[in-house]
Chains A and B, each alone.
Chain A
Amino acid sequence: MYNCKDSINLLMDYLDGEMAPEEAQHLREHLRGCAPCVDFLRTYRATPGLCKKAMAQRMPQEVADKLTEYLRSKIKSAS
């Protein structure tokens, strides 16, 4: 029988669907009887999405203009 620590160690493989059927069965058994681990799983699964949102970046217009200028001059001098 898995405890919380075993289960949490296996969460990534579980979410990736890369777990042996027997291990997945043990994990599901633990989750059925452990509400804190179910909450943990939910928040673990939500973490990448939240981080992705927090780290969104756009290129400032000034940098974009410089990029166009750079590529034009480089490509022109190469041709």
Chain B
Amino acid sequence: MSDELVPQPEDQQLLARSQAGDMAAFEALVGAHRDRVFGLALRMTRSEADAAEITQDTFMSAYQHLNDFRGDAAFGSWVHRIAANHALMRLRHRKVVQAAEEELKGPEFTERGSLAEYPQQDWSRDAEEKALDAELGQAIQQATDRLPEGYREVFLLKDVEGLSYEQIAELTGDSVPAIKSRLHRARLALREAIDAFYNRDHRVE
């Protein structure tokens, strides 16, 4: 994510032209950032229709506030935060069937606090490979869907979208320690799901 934190020279030029009213320049900015905005909205809302609307609202808000944007940060990070805000607002208006927190799985420990099950396979290297096994991808998406809403949001905003704890706190109104605690539990649950996937594979072989 670090490349998106600093202003990109191309964006800076397009931004200056957009601020001067050049519509083609603004459309080029939209073209460069729409996939990321749409991706965030789709992951957060899990609805293509909602994601399309959030993307429209995000770029419309960006356009309306173009002259407030000073350009000391990256344009991409700025629209990304606008999108996160729109997506969260939409989720708050939705009545979501909450998964219970007890359903969050994590590692199991013995009475003495030792790991009850030792990992059988070290799959950490697979994260470095370019392509991801399609079935694993599906298992991860399902596991993410099973997370209680507040945990899923924090995980998506931090680990997938790359926002900072402070930015998430500002958007959600939650404290940084609360966000960190939820993120850790979400990661543990997802790690568990990935581990179960690999071990299932192991047994089938």
The chain A residues found within 8 Å of chain B, CB to CB, are 3-6, 8-9, 11-13, 35-37, 39-40, 42-60, 63-64, 66-68, 70-72, 74-75
B77 contacts the other chain (CB 8 A): no
Known A12-B180, A54-B140, A56-B39; contact A47-B48, beta-carbon cutoff 8 A: no
The chain B residues found within 8 Å of chain A, CB to CB, are 23, 26-27, 30-31, 34-35, 38-39, 42-43, 48, 52, 55-56, 59-60, 63, 107, 109, 112-115, 118-119, 122-128, 132, 136-138, 140-141, 144, 155-156, 159-160, 180, 183-184, 187-188, 190-191, 194-195
Asked whether, in the complex, the Cβ of B187 is within 8 Å of the Cβ of A57, the reply is no
Interface contacts beyond A43-B194, A47-B159, A51-B155: sample of 14 additional A-B pairs, CB < 8 Å, sorted by A: A3-B114, A5-B109, A8-B188, A11-B184, A12-B187, A43-B124, A43-B191, A48-B159, A49-B127, A57-B38, A58-B39, A70-B60, A71-B60, A74-B60
Assembly CA distance A54 to B132 (angstroms):
7
Question: Inside 8 A of B112's CB, which chain A residues have their CB?
Answer: 3
The DSSP consensus for interface residues of chain B is helix
